Amino acid sequence: MRSRIWLLVGGVVVFGVLVGFFVTRFLNPVPPQIAATTTSNTLQGRPVVDFNLTTVAAVGTAGQGNGEHPNWVGYLPTTYLKVPAGSVVHMTIDQEDGQTGLRNEYFGLVRGTINDQMTVDGKVMGALDPSLAAHTFTIPDLGVSVPLEGVADNAPANAMIVVQFNFVVPNKPGLFRWQCFVPCAAGTLYGNGGPMQTLGYMAGELQVG
């Protein structure tokens, strides 16, 4: 009798594990992680590594991103990033999405980057007019936040704004959540659902180590 009970319990546990694996692996697939490109440069005595991301209004129109939601806004090629501990990240974001505007003007400030600055199409800036923002690149636990200027409605087709900035990552391994803080999920409650809450679109993870 006891052996049958333990067999039943074991079967239930195995079934639960399989169901959990199915839900996490197939219903919520994890995009591939990309590693920073190493360079021979140094800044503040630290090695410099490069990332290049692109923000688009719909990942499907760019022919990339998660196939489950081709009409969602997102960062490409992925939001899962890996960087060596103790390095300086030189980030380049090719911003192709339109202007949405910030609801909280505080996110118009450049924070946590080296000298609290960014360059927008080569122009050094420490803040952005809140009405011009399309997205932000924000890592709350590292104090990093950069507003990304949106492409104007009257801009030529395929227009793009290039935003660049540098920030330092910790000397020890860690996992840090990052996301956009512009509510840009059209059709969701106050623009905060869908891609805003989903890793691989407007939210991501930075693995240090």
Average pLDDT over residues 167-187: 92
Residues 35 and 85 in one domain: yes
Residue 152 has pLDDT above 90, yes or no: yes
Q: What is the pLDDT of residue 193?
A: 86
Which comes out higher in pLDDT, residue 84 or 183? 84
The residue behind tokens 């905060």 is 192
Contact 96, 148 (CB under 8 A): no
- Domain range for 6 is 1-30
pLDDT in the model for residue 25: 44
Cα–Cα distance for residue pair 112/136, rounded to 1 Å: 13
Lookup: tokens for 161: 């704004």
Q: Say whether both 182 and 81 belong to one domain.
A: yes
Residue 159, domain CATH: 2.60.40.420
Give the model confidence (pLDDT) of 28-56 as tens digits.
455 679 999 999 999 999 999 999 999 99
pLDDT of residue 5: 60
**What pLDDT is stored for residue 1 in this prediction?**
56
106: pLDDT strictly greater than 60: yes
Indicate if 25 and 123 belong to the same structural domain: no
Say whether both 100 and 13 belong to one domain: no
- Is the domain of 22 the same as that of 52? no
Q: Indicate the DSSP class of residue 197.
A: G
The pairing of beta strand 46-56 with beta strand 88-95: parallel
Do 39 and 125 lie in one domain? The reply is: yes
Give the model's pLDDT for residue 69: 87
Mean pLDDT of the chain: 86
The model's pTM is 0.82
Q: What pLDDT sits at residue 24?
A: 41
Query: Are 20 and 121 in a shared domain?
Result: no
Tell me which of 136 and 24 has the higher pLDDT.
Answer: 136
Report, as an integer, the average pLDDT of 67-83: 91
Are 23 and 87 within one domain? no
Q: Do 1 and 89 reside in the same domain of the chain?
A: no
Residues 54 and 96 in one domain: yes
- Per DSSP (E only), the strands in the chain are 34-35, 37-43, 46-56, 74-76, 80-83, 88-95, 118-120, 123-125, 133-139, 144-149, 161-168, 174-179, 203-208
Mean pLDDT of 175-182: 96
Strand partners, 204: 178
Asked if pLDDT for residue 196 goes beyond 60, the answer is yes
Q: Are residues 68 and 134 in the same domain?
A: yes
CA 43 vs CA 40, 71, 84, 139, 182: distances in Å = 10, 39, 14, 21, 30
Overall domain count for the chain: 2
72 CB-near residues (< 8 Å, 6+ apart): 58, 59, 65, 66, 185, 194, 195, 198, 201
Q: What is the pLDDT of residue 63?
A: 57
- Would you state the pLDDT for residue 143? 98
Residues 16 and 68 in one domain: no
